[in-house]
Amino acid sequence: MANKEYYLYVKGKAVPVSEEVYKAYWKITEHEKYLQRKDWKHNVISFSALDYDGHFVDNIVDESFDVEKIVETQMMIEALRDAISKLNDEERDIIDRLYFNDETLTGVARVKGVTYQSIQWRKDRILRKLKKILEKLL
């Protein structure tokens, strides 16, 4: 049996290579194809797939997000958490029930054993207190 010749194509030209180089090349190539199929199956996108025009950063920048606004909102949330922590237990319970547990004024009044107007008045007083605390924090 005669020696078989092995070629790899580089820029459209056949380049003769040894059997070991040929097999190593195709082993690596097939492994890359296997990994790519696995990524597609699991919806993984490689960075190189995103860099189709050589300007990777330009491809991932999303102008619809206002980072400054996000940071400002996060700071406001932190300030609100801090202000709520300065309320007493009764005030915090009323705010939690009304704004975080979506309970109604009537429902909270029933649980607390007081009138609707009493809870309305307490809520208004607590909100004014929170406003003063937030004004000091900000």
Task: Give the three-state DSSP class for 17.
Answer: strand
| Tally of domains within the chain | 2
**pTM assigned to the model:** 0.52
Q: Is the pLDDT of residue 130 over 90?
A: yes
Mean local confidence (pLDDT), 14-29: 89
Q: What pairing do the DSSP bridges indicate for beta strands 6-10 and 13-17? A: antiparallel
Q: Is 12 inside any structural domain?
A: yes
Higher pLDDT, 52 or 25: 25
What six digits make up the tokens of 109? 């009044």
Mean local confidence (pLDDT), 80-100: 93
Q: Considering only CA atoms, which of 90, 117, 91, 122 is closest in space to residue 106?
A: 117
Task: Give the three-state DSSP class for 14.
Answer: strand
CA distance 78 to 71: 11
Q: Examine the domain organization and report whether 130 and 81 are in the same domain.
A: yes
Q: Examine the domain organization and report whether 36 and 75 are in the same domain.
A: no
Q: Is 40 inside any structural domain?
A: yes
Q: Is 84 inside any structural domain?
A: yes
Q: Examine the domain organization and report whether 55 and 71 are in the same domain.
A: no
Q: Examine the domain organization and report whether 51 and 85 are in the same domain.
A: no
Range of the domain at 42: 6-60
Q: Examine the domain organization and report whether 128 and 88 are in the same domain.
A: yes
Mean local confidence (pLDDT), 53-81: 74
User: Is residue 11 very low, low, confident or very high in pLDDT (cuts 50, 70, 90)?
Assistant: confident
Q: Is the pLDDT of residue 108 over 70?
A: yes
Average pLDDT, the chain: 84
Q: Which of 24-33, 47-56, 81-90, 123-132 has the least mean pLDDT?
A: 47-56
Q: Examine the domain organization and report whether 34 and 76 are in the same domain.
A: no
Q: Examine the domain organization and report whether 23 and 79 are in the same domain.
A: no
Beta bridge partners of 9: 14
Q: Examine the domain organization and report whether 97 and 112 are in the same domain.
A: yes
Higher pLDDT, 59 or 30: 30
Q: Is 1 inside any structural domain?
A: no
Q: How does DSSP assign 22-88, residue by residue? A: HHHHHHHHHHHHHHHHHHHHTT---HHHH-SSS-HHHHH--TT--HHHHHHHHHHHHHHHHHHHTS-
Q: Examine the domain organization and report whether 133 and 73 are in the same domain.
A: yes
Q: Examine the domain organization and report whether 55 and 83 are in the same domain.
A: no
